[in-house]
Amino acid sequence: MITYSPRETKELAQKIFQENKRGLKNKCLIFALQGELGTGKTQFAKGLGRALGIKKIIVSPSFTLIREYPFKNRETKGIFYHIDAWRIEAPEEWLALGIRELVKPGNVIAIEWAEKGREIWDKIFDKLSVKIVWVKLEHKKRGERKISWSSKK
Amino acid sequence: MKKEPLILSIDTSCDETAAAITLGRRVLSNVVWSQIAIHRPWGGVVPNLAKRAHQKHIDEVVDTALIEAEKQMETIDAVAVTQGPGLAIALEVGIEKAKEIAKKYNKPLIGVDHMEGHLLSSLARSPNPTKAEPSLRLKFPVLGLLVSGGHTELVLARKIGQYQILGQTLDDAAGEAFDKVAKMLGLGYPGGPIISRLAEDGDMAKFNLPVPMIHHKSLNFSFSGLKTACLYKIRKIGEKKRDKQFLKDFAASFQYALVQSIVLKFKKAIDIYHPQQVLLGGGVINNLYLRQQIKQVARQHQIPVLVPYSKKLFTDNAAMIGIAAYYKFLRKEFVKDIDRLDRKPNLSLEASIF
């Protein structure tokens, strides 16, 4: 799918959330965002925030690494965690972030630069109930982004 | 004269382990152990390194603050600690230490918002004033401009302790934009000082970069569009042509666009809220070009600008936490149940800490 503006990226994020929200009652939903600087990862997270009914402005977590936003809407309540792995190099850094403790049914986690930890994800999420949606964002022509996604249990 | 409170403050919100002793608004010591050298190879803060480094250095930093101030733990009147905003696992280290000291020495504990520290950092007084200091009478409303690696905020204070956020970044913080553009240019970390140094001899009109949010009515900031515009420009130019002069010109052009955006919103805030005083805080205030531009606008409106007396007070430090804690001490805002004091990684100046 191609988006032509940050707004369209946000709208697509809402749509992808709707497609995958089933099971949020007994699972933690994780959006693993892959993409270079400036491909719209934070915009995508803003879209997820909107889908969850979060009023607070979703801002880049690059500096503080994790930002959290509690949410409550008609269907569900939980905490939306927005994580930035831009600065993470060694896989064990992921464990240090304490991500396992954030994984609870009903919570939603968006991880920017998720590709950086792919090799230890199985270890991190071992025996936890999660649904992971991999989202790839790419630069195309000026202003255009190619966004593709796939989910696995 | 009434005795001013002697406060030990601790801040471990991000990559600095900091402790300070303040007597009233006077800074007796301000010790910062920086992790920048540790994180430099990674281009930013790395979480488990951050936590480990805080744990390793916190005792030494607290002891040094006491020694430099020539004070003993027994004689302090309160312990203050940053509760947020910041990196959760880093904040925890400072909070645990503060609780431990408060319990062991039976001292009242004060929880402080890191951003209130930045906002009030200009009110700090030096330990050895070289000239007579005029007595400080803040005129309200006060407009605060806070620009750092993690934050870009315009804050209105009707009195100390009562804040309204007029505008904030919708995506990246200004300091983060510096870091990311520096990374795109293959420069080091932190990006701010490197870019501003390069920009000194650069042509700010060389590259036409968009001034963010120029047509946007709100007082909010946004730097992600500028970041992407930089990325497109840098790519187009190609690696071979990126010589020293290119870096200087690009740094100057980027800095110009970013600073103009901040100045524009600052000016707008003045027009709407008519502040009587401006306070500047945060690491990016170190940027001379930004400071000059802000001061010029304030001068045109005849509004006095207060800037911290030392550069050490711009970036993260604990003395500024001591200043915020001093006013809380006067208002008797102590933590009621020490065991329940918790980190608040997403704390906002508008939310009461209690």
Nearest to A37 among B87, B231, B346 (CB): B231
Residue A86: pLDDT band (50, 70, 90) is confident
Q: Judge contact between B94 and B54, C-beta under 8 A.
A: yes
Q: Which of residues 37-76 of A touch B (CB under 8 A)?
A: 37-38, 42-43, 57, 59-60, 62-69
Contact yes or no for B47 and A62 at CB 8 A: no
In the predicted structure, residue A24 carries a pLDDT above the cut 50: yes
As a whole-number percent, the residues of chain B with pLDDT over 70 amount to 92
Where residue B354 falls among pLDDT bands split at 50, 70, 90? very low
Handedness of CA B161, B118, B320, A62 (dihedral sign): positive
Do B287 and B263 form a contact (C-beta atoms < 8 A)? no
Cβ separation A60–B173 shorter than 8 A = yes
Mean pLDDT of B309-327: 96
Under 8 Å between Cβ of A89 and B39: no
B173 neighbourhood in chain A, CB within 8 Å? 59-60, 63
The per-residue pLDDT for B110 is 98
Q: In whole angstroms, what is the distance from residue B204 CA to residue B198 CA?
A: 11
- CA distances to A39, B51, B113, B249 from B8, rounded to whole Å, are 44, 21, 15, 45
pLDDT in tens, A101-123: 889 999 999 999 888 877 777 77
* Chain B partners within 8 Å of A69 (Cβ): 346
Task: Determine whether the interchain pair A66/B231 forms a contact, defined as Cβ–Cβ distance below 8 Å.
Answer: no
Interface check B87 vs A, CB under 8 A: yes
User: Per-residue pLDDT tens for B112-140?
Assistant: 999 999 999 999 999 877 666 666 789 99
The ipTM assigned to this model is 0.81
**Lowest mean pLDDT segment, chosen from B136-150, B184-198, B340-354:** B340-354
Residue of chain B nearest A143, judged by CA positions: B228
B276: burial class by Cβ within 10 Å (0-12, 13-18, 19+)?
middle
Q: Which of B284, B57, B70 is CA-nearest to residue B176?
A: B284
**pLDDT surpasses 60 at B179:** yes
In this prediction the pTM is 0.89
Which chain A residues contact residue B184 at CB under 8 A? 37
The predicted-structure confidence for A10-22, as pLDDT tens digits, reads as follows: 999 999 999 999 8
pLDDT at B352: 47
Task: Give CA–CA dist A18/B164, Å, rounded.
Answer: 35
Q: What is the mean pLDDT of residues B5-10?
A: 98
A111 in contact with chain B, both atoms CB, cutoff 8 A: no
Q: Does B114 touch chain A (CB under 8 A)?
A: no
Best mean pLDDT range from B39-48, B134-143, B310-319: B310-319
Looking at chain B from residue 16 to 75, which residues have their Cβ under 8 Å from any Cβ of chain A?
Answer: 39, 42-48, 51
* pLDDT confidence of residue B44: 52
Predicted pLDDT at B132: 61
Q: Is the pLDDT of residue B353 over 50?
A: no
Which residues on chain B are in Cβ contact (under 8 Å) with A142?
A: 232
pLDDT at B345: 81
| Contact call for A66 and B87, based on CB within 8 A | yes
**pLDDT tens, position by position, B220-270:** 999 999 999 999 999 888 777 889 999 999 999 999 999 999 999 999 999
- Count of CB pairs separated by less than 8 Å, A with B: 84
Strand partners, B202: none
